[in-house]
A and B are shown apart, each in its own frame.
Chain A
């Protein structure tokens, strides 16, 4: 049972290592999804949020890590 739990933990770790980065990515995706649902006639807005959001999240995350 312990081995199975450890395996599941390692599987989750494939996608989530730094909780802040994972949460920020999910938040960007959620925002893009809300925009896509509210303004389906301007889908580029959702795309722009995704693109700028992901690049921004990455940059901010690594810069914050340096300060830690």
Chain B
């Protein structure tokens, strides 16, 4: 019982935080498009992206039920390890100051400048290009959200709460973005990515082991232990990389 609750709690938290990060990234591009070409191409592109996402989920969702659970756990576990450890690695390198932090203001400025540059050359089809940028941002970031939701709830009956958490995060960012009309640069994105990387890696390790028939000690509670180990390793790596000790997580 405690194990199941821990699993559900971790899954909901991971989905919410990961979706916050993805929604902030998508919002930056949609806002850039809206700033240069207005809300029509930005909104239409975003809606088209959401519609395609819904079609993908509707088409692939039922297929997942036909895959044997062990195989599903193994495949999703490996993908989660690749995905989660990629996030964690990047968050460690950013926290240690080795690569620059993800800056929404800079991305917004560069996307806006790129769209304005395109405006000089392709004025006639710019609305189409701008809508495509918005569409691509929503589709790619949305696919990451869909993957995370499916991956961490696979075979555990937590699809509904995890989906609600992800949807709540996306709606929250959309509402805040709609109100402030500028990129959400103050969201501590690297800290969120660090936390989500830790959690997704822990889930990936757990699922991959389950796929191989490993009976983890403590069952679902093992996920918490794995998360603690990934967190400790990540923080140790930051401390080792940043010998001066000025650790910047956000």
Contacts and interface: CB of A to CB of B under 8 A. Distances in A.
A3 B216 contact: no
B241 A63 contact: yes
B223 interface: no
A62 interface: yes
A53 to B, nearest CB: 10
B215 A43 contact: yes
Contact of B214 (A3, A22, A43): A43
B98 A66 contact: yes
A47 to B, nearest CB: 4
A29 B81 contact: yes
A66 B212 CA distance: 34
B6 to A, nearest CB: 18
Interface string B99-129: 0000000000000000000000000000000
Interface residues of A, number: 34
Given A14-B147, A51-B229, A62-B92, A46 B98 contact: no
Interface string A4-26: 00010011001111100110011
B89 A58 contact: yes
Contacts of B89: 17-18, 21, 58, 61-62, 65
Interface residues of B, number: 39
B98 A47 contact: no
A57 B92 CA distance: 14
B83 interface: yes
Interface string A41-68: 0011011001100110111011101100
Nearest to B213: A43
A33 B214 CA distance: 10
Given A17-B90, A65-B93, A25 B85 contact: yes
Contact of B93 (A26, A40, A62): A62
Interface stretch (B58-66, B153-161, B232-240): B232-240
A21 B197 CA distance: 14
Contact of B233 (A17, A46, A55, A65): A55
Interface of A: 3, 7, 10-11, 14-18, 21-22, 25-26, 29, 32-33, 36, 40, 43-44, 46-47, 50-51, 54-55, 57-59, 61-63, 65-66
